[in-house]
């Protein structure tokens, strides 16, 4: 049949395929769909799959039909040439000893690169073919491959001479009455007749594996996007809640040194002030509004609160100016007050981006980057009987945030998520200290760790 024109040869193979189809669910060989190297190779991959099937049938091999293969493994045999584990995984699910896996790539003009692998159960790959041929010679290559796979197949029956009661059987080339530009293979896979058009997904920037799944799904664009949980442009709202571990609590220690003047009048001699965040734990909660820019990225602004504590200690020391024989000031008295910690609320705001490596499926891991800012209030410090204490002002703590999480996409735009962001505090970079060096004693200094981590869960709704 190698001398036939490609169109005539395809028609002949189609007729022979109808005559030689093997039984369902049991076959000599499994033929997976050719894997297209690019989105532009889908059509030629379909044609080569059908030509290869008919060439194998012509050699007397029972080939599992596309319908039976799909019923056995679903879409798991799609893209088999790009998945090394795919053929090995077929043995436990199909009744066949061999599998032929093909891949095709257009090389520009009218040439094709065709790669084939013959797998045998328990032995792996036993034969390989890698040819660059004109598109008009693809059928001849497949006939050669089929003949090599079944070298001992018996030739078509023929009767050399006519005898009484015996029909003279001779096979002649089948010529179509009129040339056909694009003959439709008779053994076309069922799913190819309901394939979608990858152009329907234009503008979404989906990866090739997702586009291939859409093309093979047989679903409308909107139905497939919903079932595959593909994220498209949408405004979303989120609620967050969880725990924070790290620099959360605040501490303010203030001490005053006074001169004891005549008439119970006191003047300032010096002061000590120490203000710092402390390593602790507490609750965090908030809400975010954002936009799903593409399936792989969203941007949002998170606002909320962190619930911690504020600690405060005060004290004073009095001195008599030049009260010592050497002319130095003489220490007279001191007092210290330690207040019970009180609850404190710190407001926070965080512009953030999430990056998703997976386009489809209900579970989507993601990486998180952002910039965290929190706003803390001032201290109101009670004054003593003989002293007025300076107060600690409010401020802004800020630093970069990185982390990761898992999103759980439900139908109709509902989303749940778990995430763990970590923030490194840049401002303030160290405790705030003023020490004039005149007090006899100062409190122990407690410092934080310069960072915090949050463990959060939340829900979101996407308005598409």
Considering the domain architecture, whether residues 146 and 244 belong to the same structural domain is answered as: no
- CB burial of residue 164 (10 Å; 0-12, 13-18, 19+): exposed
Range of the domain at 146: 6-194
CATH number, domain of 176, equals: 3.40.50.10070
Residue 303 lies in a domain: yes
Residue 401 sits at the vertex; the CA angle it makes with 396 and 406, to the nearest 5 degrees, is 135
Residue 229 lies in a domain: no
Kindly report the three-state secondary structure assignment for every residue of the chain: CCCCCHHHHHHHHHHHHHHHCCCCCECCEEECCCEECCHHHHHHHHHHHHHHHHHHHHCCCCECCHHHHHHHHCCCCCCHHHCCCHHHHHCCCCECCEEEEEEEEECCCCEEEEEEEEEECCCEEEEEEEEEEEHHHHHHHHHHHHHHHCCCCCCCCCCCCCCCCCCCCCCCCCCCCCCCCCCCCCCCCHHHHHCCCHHHHCCCCCCHHHHHHHHHHCCCHHHHHHHCCCCCCEEEEEEEEEEEEEEEEEEEEEEEEEEEECCCEEEEEEEEEEEEEEEEEEEEEEEEEEEEEECCEEEEEEEEEEEEEEEEEEEEEEEECCCCCCCCCEEEEEEEEEEEEEEEEEEEEEEEEEECCCCCCCEEEEEEEEEEEEEECCCCCCCCCCCCCCCCCCEEEEEEEEEEEEEEECHHHEEEEEEEEEEECCECCCCEEEECCCCCCCCCCCCCCCEEEEEEEEEEEEEC
Considering the domain architecture, whether residues 263 and 168 belong to the same structural domain is answered as: no
CATH number, domain of 393, equals: 2.40.160.20
At which of 138, 167, 194 does a domain end? 194
Closest CA to 457 of 423, 422, 419: 419
Q: Quote the tokens at residue 252.
A: 């303010």
Residue 217 lies in a domain: no
Residue 214 lies in a domain: no
At which of 144, 173, 194 does a domain end? 194
Considering the domain architecture, whether residues 251 and 386 belong to the same structural domain is answered as: yes
Considering the domain architecture, whether residues 179 and 251 belong to the same structural domain is answered as: no
Considering the domain architecture, whether residues 88 and 30 belong to the same structural domain is answered as: yes
Residue 406 lies in a domain: yes
Considering the domain architecture, whether residues 106 and 45 belong to the same structural domain is answered as: yes
> pLDDT tens, 86-138?
877 777 788 788 888 898 888 876 888 899 998 888 788 888 999 988 888 88
- CB burial of residue 431 (10 Å; 0-12, 13-18, 19+): middle
Considering the domain architecture, whether residues 238 and 155 belong to the same structural domain is answered as: no
* Beta strand pairing call for 395-409 and 363-376: antiparallel
Q: Domain total for the chain? A: 2
Considering the domain architecture, whether residues 256 and 154 belong to the same structural domain is answered as: no
Considering the domain architecture, whether residues 126 and 266 belong to the same structural domain is answered as: no
At which of 194, 218, 248 does a domain end? 194
Residue 178 lies in a domain: yes
Q: Quote the tokens at residue 345.
A: 């609320």
Measure the CA–CA gap between 312 and 253, rounded to whole angstroms: 6
* Beta strand pairing call for 98-106 and 29-31: parallel
Residues in the chain: 464
Residue 401 lies in a domain: yes
Residue 224 lies in a domain: no
Considering the domain architecture, whether residues 267 and 180 belong to the same structural domain is answered as: no
Mutual orientation of helices 6-20 and 42-58 as an angle, nearest 10°?
Answer: 60
Considering the domain architecture, whether residues 176 and 252 belong to the same structural domain is answered as: no
Residue with token string 């009455």:
177
Considering the domain architecture, whether residues 145 and 268 belong to the same structural domain is answered as: no
Output the CA torsion 100→105→106→107 (10° steps).
-120
Residue by residue, pLDDT tens for the chain (464 residues) are: 444 444 444 444 443 333 333 344 567 888 888 888 888 888 888 888 888 989 888 888 888 866 778 777 877 777 788 887 787 777 778 878 888 889 888 887 688 889 999 888 878 888 899 998 888 888 889 999 988 888 654 555 554 454 554 444 454 554 444 544 544 444 444 444 455 688 889 889 999 999 999 998 889 999 999 999 999 999 999 999 999 999 999 999 999 999 988 767 899 999 999 999 999 999 999 999 999 999 999 999 999 999 999 999 999 999 999 889 998 999 999 999 999 999 999 999 999 999 999 999 999 999 999 999 999 999 999 998 899 999 999 999 999 999 999 999 999 899 999 999 999 999 998 999 999 999 999 999 999 999 999 999 999 999 98
């Amino acid at each position: 049949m190698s001398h036939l024109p490609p169109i005539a040869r395809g028609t002949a193979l189609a007729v022979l395929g109808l005559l030689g189809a093997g039984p369902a669910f049991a076959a000599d060989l499994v033929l997976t769909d050719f894997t297209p190297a690019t989105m532009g190779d889908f059509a030629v991959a379909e044609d080569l799959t059908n030509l290869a099937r008919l060439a194998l049938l012509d050699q007397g091999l029972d080939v599992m039909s596309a319908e039976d293969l799909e019923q056995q493994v679903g879409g798991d045999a799609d893209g088999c040439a790009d998945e090394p584990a795919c053929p090995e995984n077929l043995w436990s699910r199909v009744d066949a000893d061999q599998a032929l896996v093909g891949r095709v790539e257009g090389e520009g003009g009218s040439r094709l690169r065709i790669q084939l692998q013959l797998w045998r159960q328990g032995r792996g790959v036993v034969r390989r073919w890698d040819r660059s041929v004109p598109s008009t010679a693809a059928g001849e290559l497949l006939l050669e491959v089929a003949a090599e796979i079944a070298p001992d197949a018996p030739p078509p029956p023929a009767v050399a001479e006519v005898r009484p009661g015996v029909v003279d059987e001779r096979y002649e080339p089948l010529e179509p009455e009129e040339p056909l530009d694009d003959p439709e293979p008779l053994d076309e896979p069922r799913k190819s007749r309901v394939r979608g058009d990858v152009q329907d997904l234009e503008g979404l920037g989906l990866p090739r594996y997702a586009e291939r799944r859409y093309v093979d799904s047989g679903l409308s664009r909107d139905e497939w996007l919903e079932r595959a949980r593909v994220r498209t442009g949408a405004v979303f709202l989120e609620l967050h809640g969880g725990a924070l571990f790290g620099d959360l609590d605040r501490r303010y220690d203030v001490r005053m040194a006074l001169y004891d003047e005549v008439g119970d009048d006191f003047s300032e001699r010096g002061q000590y002030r120490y203000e710092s965040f402390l390593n602790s734990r507490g609750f965090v909660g908030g809400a975010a509004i954002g936009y799903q820019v593409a399936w792989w990225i969203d941007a949002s602004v998170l606002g909320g609160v962190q619930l911690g504590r504020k600690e405060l200690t005060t004290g004073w020391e009095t001195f008599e100016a030049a009260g010592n024989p050497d002319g130095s000031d003489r220490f007279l008295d001191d007092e210290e007050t330690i207040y019970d910690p009180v609850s404190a609320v710190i407001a926070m705001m965080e512009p953030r981006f999430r990056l998703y490596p997976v386009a489809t499926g209900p579970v989507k891991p993601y990486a998180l980057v952002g910039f965290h800012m929190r706003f803390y209030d001032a201290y109101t410090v009670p004054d003593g009987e003989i002293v007025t204490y300076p107060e600690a002002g409010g401020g802004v703590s800020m630093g970069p945030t990185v982390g990761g999480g898992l999103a759980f996409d439900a139908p109709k735009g509902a989303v749940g998520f778990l995430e763990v962001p970590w923030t490194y505090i840049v401002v303030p970079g160290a405790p705030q200290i003023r020490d004039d060096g005149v007090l006899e004693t100062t409190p122990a200094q407690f410092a934080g760790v310069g960072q915090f981590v949050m463990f959060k869960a939340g829900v979101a709704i996407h308005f598409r």
